[in-house]
Amino acid sequence: MEEEKRTQSIDDDFVIEPNNDASASAFGWAFQASSALFLFVSDFDEADSVKVETKRQDIEIKLEDKSIIFAQAKSSQSYSGGQNENSKLKNAILSLAKTGISSKDHLLYISNLRYPLDKDDKFFNGVIREYSEFDQEKRDALDLRLKETAEAIKDEISKEESASKKKTLALILNRLASFPKNQFEVCTLYPCSEGYQSSLDNPIMKVIADFLYNKAGIDAISSTSFSRRVFDFWNNHLNVDQTLKDNGKNTKGVNKQGFAWSIVALCLLTDNIDRLSSEGYFGFAITPLLKSQAHDYLEGADEIVHQNWEHTYKMLLSFSDFCNENPKSTNVAKDFILKSWNDYSSYFPGGNLHLNEILTKNFMFGAIEREDKFNKISGIKGVLGNDH
């Protein structure tokens, strides 16, 4: 599908109230990363990739139809209400209005405020709501904020002496006058304040747990516990990622395949070393030091996540062939692993041969034992470039 041409973004630093940019605080940056993760997972079937702190917006989610969700993230470390909420909404509207878009793109305002648009504290919470879902009261509230934002810019124009600055502000004013309300969406993650952001009750954690249960086939109890690990890994990744310059070379962000693989790595390829040792998979004793080194590797998410679909898929295909060739085997998984583990040992650190063998066999065992879940995850729409 051909990507639709977008209008040009307006490069201007005017805001309704200075010093209220959430990215100025550590909490604001953390909330922005968490919001990107929430939006990406919530729309995973249609999403292709997500980036934070781009040239155009706080968050960009590219969809498979080539359209983009441009999101403004605004947060407050503690609930204050009233004028604070209004000013954050107006600054979000202003930023979104300046963004160059196509008719298929989405303009989204996400916050952790109890009342992001009007005094309805339930409608937007944990749910992405399109303008078409707004009742008249919410539409009137949006119109009022658009009007107030436009009035602030008119006031600025009247005070401005620079002709070029006046011209830029006039362009912004025109954008506000033609603000594409039908492309506007709102979501809030409340409460998501200081000390609560990584709580298992947080809507971000809940959407990840639901994804693990519904998409990956992981049981409900494990989904809840694993959601913390997935959240911590990607939240940390996106927090670092948003400090990188957006140079247009795809060095920022997370794509669908990378996120899906992390589910396999973080939730399926777990520590089975004691079981393998007791069942005779190793020809040497597992010392406390070896066990500790292997455990540290598996717990170090950055290490295990570097593996990919190709390695696992290749190994599982070989295992399938081995099963067909050895129909009389009483423990075909063990026979295959003992015979073939050297073929896959290059995927893991090679400095300590025993550690390498432990990690390789643990990886093979975990993938074989949970092959049904691997296949379920790989079958998610778009993960392997398919249309499942």
208 or 381, which is more confident? 208
- 288 φ, ψ to 5°? -55, -35
Residues recorded for the chain: 388
Residue 12 C-alpha from the chain's centroid: 28
pTM (2 decimals)? 0.82
Residue 51 near residue 63 (C-beta atoms within 8 A): no
* pLDDT tens by residue, 302-346: 555 555 677 788 899 999 999 999 999 999 999 999 999 999 998
Residue 170 near residue 107 (C-beta atoms within 8 A): no
What gap in Å lies between CA 243 and CA 74, rounded to an integer? 17
170 has a pLDDT exceeding 50: yes
Residue 198: what pLDDT?
A: 54
Instruction: Report the pLDDT averaged over residues 12-36.
Output: 68
* Cis preceding-peptide flag for 191 (omega within 30 of 0): yes
Three-state SS for the chain is: CCCCCCCCCCCCCCCCCCCCCHHHCHHHHHHHHHHHHHHHHHCCCCEEEEEECCCCCCEEEEECCCCEEEEEEECCCCCCCCHHHHHHHHHHHHHHHHCCCCCCCEEEEEECCCCCCCCCCCCCECCCEEHHHCCHHHHHHHHHHHHHHHHHHHHHHHHCCCHHHHHHHHHHHHHHHCCCHHHEEEEECCCCCCCCCCCCCCHHHHHHHHHHHHCCCCCHHHHHHHHHHHHHHHHHHHHHHCCCCCCCCCCCCEEHHHHHHHHHHHHHCCCCHHHHHHCCCCCCCCCHHHHHHHHHHHHCHHHHCCCCHHHHHHHHHHHHHHHHHCCCCCCHHHHHHHHHHHHHHHHCCCCCHHHHHHHHHHHHHHHHHCHHHHHHHHCCCCCCCCCC
323 contact partners, CB below 8 Å, separation of at least 6: 329, 332, 336
Q: Kindly give the pairing relationship between strand 106-111 and strand 184-188.
A: parallel
What gap in Å lies between CA 299 and CA 12, rounded to an integer? 44
Residue 344 near residue 362 (C-beta atoms within 8 A): no
* pLDDT tens by residue, 233-290: 888 888 888 887 777 665 678 888 888 888 887 777 778 899 999 999 999 999 999 9
84 or 5, which is more confident? 5
Assigned token pair, 274:
């004691």
- 105 φ, ψ to 5°? -75, 170
* pLDDT tens by residue, 150-165: 999 999 999 988 889 9
What is the band of 25 on the pLDDT scale with cuts at 50, 70, 90?
A: low
How much of the chain exceeds pLDDT 70, in percent? 87
Residue 230: what pLDDT?
A: 87
Distance between the two ends of the chain, CA-based, in angstroms? 18
Residue 30 near residue 166 (C-beta atoms within 8 A): no
78 contact partners, CB below 8 Å, separation of at least 6: 193, 194
Provide the CB-side half-sphere exposure for 328 (13 A, CA). Answer: 0
Residue 251: what pLDDT?
A: 65
Mean per-residue pLDDT of the chain: 85
* pLDDT tens by residue, 42-53: 999 899 999 998
Nearest CA to 230 out of 247, 209, 215, 248 is that of: 209
What is the band of 21 on the pLDDT scale with cuts at 50, 70, 90?
A: very low
* pLDDT tens by residue, 175-219: 999 999 999 999 998 876 655 555 556 788 889 999 999 988 888
Residue 226: what pLDDT?
A: 86
What is the band of 23 on the pLDDT scale with cuts at 50, 70, 90?
A: very low
Nearest CA to 60 out of 14, 7, 28, 107 is that of: 107
Residue 388: what pLDDT?
A: 38
Residue 22: what pLDDT?
A: 39
Residue 167 near residue 89 (C-beta atoms within 8 A): no
Burial 141-153 (b: 16+ CB within 10 A, else e): bbeebbeebbebb
What gap in Å lies between CA 151 and CA 156, rounded to an integer? 9
Provide the CB-side half-sphere exposure for 325 (13 A, CA). Answer: 9
Residue 93: what pLDDT?
A: 94
